[in-house]
């Protein structure tokens, strides 16, 4: 991969795909935020906020922005410390503060209410929007919802629930990245901003582990990697774990205060190679107003990137259920 990156990769195609869409920067809470904003030709289109996670970027949405913009007004921001958003120079930019910034961004764009969609950190940010700004949220589309397995079901587990528990246990062998980034992000960060090989290994390994089969080309993988290499975001992106990974761990410990009930309508898509893969009855404890639930046949952690057509169908079906 590094040999191809140095001798065969051409970033100009990624530049072209990114620059097809209107992009902007605005300062919110003292931080410069980069985002794409694509208005639908339909005046009655539903505003849709798409939030990526780690080790992704807005590159994940390259192939879905066009199709989705026929139905939705799209806002696609880069998380603080990622891509062309500024790197925070102070502590405190965790999930809740990002959610507040996104609410402000949507206000500035004229969207009083909107659907929040996300995966990975985007799931947590979207959930925080539902908790902190419920009057603004038409509904959430979570891929997947973040909930702990329900111990009360352990005597009556379905095969799918047992497989989900087994995969959670097996995934602990690959969780070293999260503990490093949540405890010493600066230490690994110096390597990630200094060495292309270190950054490539750190990020591409997760695409190898978390995708369903081999759905992405080398160019696609490197398009995303460049969103970390060009702005030197390896360290600043890792700091999201230092800020908020404890909250995620607390949810999976079943801490009630860390996983409050989310009052807004929710739709969920559970892709087969995602991890975690909660069942609907587990999710309903935290998300009591589930309007849409589907388990597509293909796809992993990076659903929009891996299976853009399936992802578009999931978003449209979910929003239809949320707004019917």
Is 86 designated active site?
Answer: no
Which pair of structure tokens corresponds to residue 114?
Answer: 């909107």
Is 37 designated active site?
Answer: no
Cα–chain-centroid distance for residue 259? Answer: 18
CB 9 within 8 A of CB 200: no
Is 120 designated active site?
Answer: yes
Query: Choosing from 73, 119, 133, 301, which is the catalytic residue?
Result: 301
Beta pairing class for 266-269 and 46-51 = unpaired
Q: How many CB atoms lie within 10 A of CB 199?
A: 22
Query: Choosing from 82, 228, 241, 292, which is the catalytic residue?
Result: 241
CB 211 within 8 A of CB 272: no
Which pair of structure tokens corresponds to residue 56?
Answer: 């992704």
In this structure, what DSSP letter does residue 184 have? -
In this structure, what DSSP letter does residue 183 have? H
Which pair of structure tokens corresponds to residue 121?
Answer: 């950190």
Helix (H, G, I), strand (E, B) or coil at 28: strand
Query: Choosing from 120, 150, 212, 223, which is the catalytic residue?
Result: 120
CB 83 within 8 A of CB 113: no
Q: How many CB atoms lie within 10 A of CB 289?
A: 15
Beta pairing class for 114-118 and 46-51 = parallel
Residues belonging to the active site: 120, 241, 301
């Amino acid at each position: 991969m590094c040999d191809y990156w140095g001798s065969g990769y051409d970033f100009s195609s990624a530049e072209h795909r990114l620059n097809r869409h209107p992009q902007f920067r605005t300062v919110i809470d003292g931080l410069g935020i980069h985002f794409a904003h694509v208005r639908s030709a339909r005046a009655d289109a539903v505003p849709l906020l798409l939030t990526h996670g780690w080790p992704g970027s807005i590159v994940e949405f390259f192939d879905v922005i066009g199709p989705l913009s026929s139905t939705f007004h799209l806002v696609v921001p880069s998380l603080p410390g990622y891509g062309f958003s500024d790197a925070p120079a102070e502590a405190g930019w965790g999930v809740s503060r990002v959610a507040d910034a996104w609410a402000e961004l949507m206000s500035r764009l004229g969207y009083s209410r909107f659907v929040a969609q996300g995966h990975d950190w985007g799931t947590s940010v979207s959930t925080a929007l539902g908790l902190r700004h419920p009057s603004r949220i038409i509904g959430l589309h979570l891929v997947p919802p973040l909930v702990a397995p329900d111990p009360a079901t352990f005597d009556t587990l379905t095969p799918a629930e047992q497989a989900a528990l087994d995969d959670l246990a097996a995934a602990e062998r690959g969780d070293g990245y999260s503990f490093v980034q949540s405890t010493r992000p600066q230490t690994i960060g110096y390597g990630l901003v200094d060495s292309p090989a270190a950054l490539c290994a750190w990020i591409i390994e997760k695409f190898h582990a978390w995708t369903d089969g081999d759905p992405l080309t080398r160019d696609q993988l490197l398009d995303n990697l460049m969103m970390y290499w060009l702005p030197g975001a390896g360290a600043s992106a890792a700091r999201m774990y230092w800020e908020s990974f404890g909250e995620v761990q607390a949810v999976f410990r079943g801490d009630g205060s860390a996983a409050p009930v989310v009052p807004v309508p929710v739709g969920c898509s559970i892709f087969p190679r995602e991890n975690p893969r909660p069942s609907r009855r587990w999710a309903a404890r935290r998300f009591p107003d589930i309007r849409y639930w589907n388990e597509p046949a293909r796809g992993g952690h990076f659903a929009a990137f891996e299976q853009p057509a399936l992802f578009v169908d999931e978003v449209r079906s979910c929003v239809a259920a949320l707004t019917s």
